[in-house]
Amino acid sequence: MDGLRRGLTRLSDLCEGAGAVILSVIIVLNAVAVFARYVLVDPIGWSEELMRFSLAWLTYLAVGPCLFRNEHMAMETLDVIRNEAVKRMLLRFILAVTALFAGTILWFAVPLLQRNWNQFTPVMEIRTFWPYLSVALGCGLLLLFALAMIALSFTGRVHRDDDDGHAGAA
């Protein structure tokens, strides 16, 4: 199980790193777009579309790692349960529900991706398949994380416990 844990940590690092790169690209693109419009007086038409699609990719790539870090918003029901066996059962149930959700969306997304193969975005004229792929890939990753964490729950620690700053919501 140590190998599974290490693999999951590496995958989490990879996804988070990709998310960080995408965010930096969005920030740079935004600054370049403002510069091009006001200083060069030559607006970049495709920057907005690319930034919007990047936001979806950024979101869905990090959804799985957030599950591994136990950072998704939820009621703290697990914290009030004293009995370790019950706690572990409930954790497995929560992870199974998460896997069910991710798997269902992945399943629903297949025909959607097929339909979008022949459609193109208005500005960049890329296949709309690519932005929609973010949802499918993100849910695929979430499914993988959830299933792996169920497996980890039979041996010991489930969540990643190194901390580089808590991520929370609004």
Q: Which residues bind another protein (CB under 8 A)?
A: 16-17, 19-24, 26-27, 30-31, 33-34, 38, 48, 51-53, 55-56, 58-63, 65-67, 69, 71-78, 90, 93-94, 97-98, 100-101, 104-105, 108-109, 111-112, 115, 131-132, 134-136, 139, 164-170
Please say which residue, 5 or 69, places its beta carbon nearer to another protein. Answer: 69
Please say which residue, 82 or 166, places its beta carbon nearer to another protein. Answer: 166
Please say which residue, 3 or 170, places its beta carbon nearer to another protein. Answer: 170
Q: What is the DSSP string of 88-121?
A: HHHHHHHHHHHHHHHHHHHHHHHHHHHHHTT-B-
Minimum distance of another protein from residue 9's CB (angstroms): 14
**Residue 57 identity:** W
Please say which residue, 41 or 75, places its beta carbon nearer to another protein. Answer: 75
Minimum distance of another protein from residue 124's CB (angstroms): 13
Question: How many alpha carbons fall within 13 Å on the CB side of residue 156?
Answer: 7
Minimum distance of another protein from residue 99's CB (angstroms): 10
Q: Where are the alpha helices (DSSP H) in the chain?
A: 2-38, 47-68, 77-80, 84-116, 129-152
Q: Residue 121 and residue 111: Cα distance in Å, rounded?
A: 18
> Among positive and negative, which fits the CA dihedral 9, 18, 56, 135?
negative
